[in-house]
Amino acid sequence: MTEDINIISYSKEYDKCMENKFGDNQMRECANEEYEKQDKMLNQKYKKIMRALPNDEKVLLKNYQKKMGKNKRNKFFL
């Protein structure tokens, strides 16, 4: 499974998009497209990891994610 873990970087398409765009709106379009690609990739890897985990570890991971989500929301509103 470690072969699926890579340093996440921007796609080549994103870099090319950003080279050819000027202004906030155009650059935002590049960022939104990249976000969608990265989110899809992250979800695919997450599902693969979840399929490989034993049930007890799945529960631990889900509980950890819930805890982290609450912490992030609380910090956001401070």
Q: Which sequence spans correspond to the domains of the chain? A: 9-76
Q: What stretches in the chain show pLDDT beneath 70?
A: 1-8, 71-78
CB atoms within 10 A of CB 34: 17
pLDDT of 65:
86
pTM: 0.65
Q: Report the half-sphere exposure of 60 (CA within 13 A, side-chain side).
A: 5
Position 31 scores a pLDDT of: 92
Query: What's the pLDDT score for residue 29?
Result: 92
Token pair recorded at residue 17: 């998009």
| Number of neighbours of residue 76 by Cβ within 10 angstroms | 7
* Cα(52)–Cα(46) distance, integer angstroms: 10
56-66 per-position pLDDT tens digit: 999 999 999 88
